[in-house]
Amino acid sequence: MSLVNTFAGEENLIETLRPAARQAIGEANQIDAKRIELLKQGAAFIRKRISEGNSAELTFVCTHNSRRSQLSQLWAQTAAVYYGLTNVTTYSGGTEATACNPRTVAALRRAGFSIVKSTDDKNPLYLAQISENRPPAKVYSKVYSDEPNPQRDFAAVFACDNALEKCPVVKGATIQLPILFVDPKVSDGLPHESATYDERSRQIAREMFFLMSQVEARKLSSR
């Protein structure tokens, strides 16, 4: 399937997200071979669940559920919406709960997400709009095993190595995938802070779009 044809899914997203989606698809050739194999395993999990008539659920796991896991959850859900994968739902959680970092929220807004802060406590709830035809995604920090995250038959996707070391086995997960990202926290308080967060968001976006494109590609080939 050509890149030109894949852009047809833009209509599924709010207008401000469409440039980032186009960019993510166009940068698929920047993903290295080892990561491609892990992403294809994630796509295979989704295809299997769908072929069995089930929904496919992915929980992205990080230490504090404040940066990488939040970015991964939203970009994976955006890619699923883009490709019309209505029975794919993404979640995130940490080995402990803190709060979604404001720098993460700022990076998501710069990428084109419409995000509003709906509570004003230590762990605020943000609402992120992906599509005009779907309710907003709820963005807040939680432990990966907390409700409403799935409790069984889901894919646990580790976004950071520290979480993988602390929790090598995720109860209820059908598959565990170490799709690890460098923490943008390393630049907090530095002049290039925003650029680092944008770079990590962009990397995660292209990898999540590639993952979901592999599900969609198989769907198309079976028609």
- Bridging pattern class, strands 114-117 and 126-129: antiparallel
Would you say the pTM of this structure is higher than 0.75? Answer: yes
Q: How far is CA 143 from CA 42, 63, 95, 113, 174, in A?
A: 22, 9, 6, 24, 18
So what's the pLDDT on residue 117?
A: 97
Q: Give the confidence band of 194 by pLDDT, cuts at 50, 70, 90.
A: very high
- 2-48 pLDDT, tens per residue? 444 556 799 999 999 999 999 999 999 999 999 999 999 999 999 99
What element of type H or E holds 77? helix 68-82
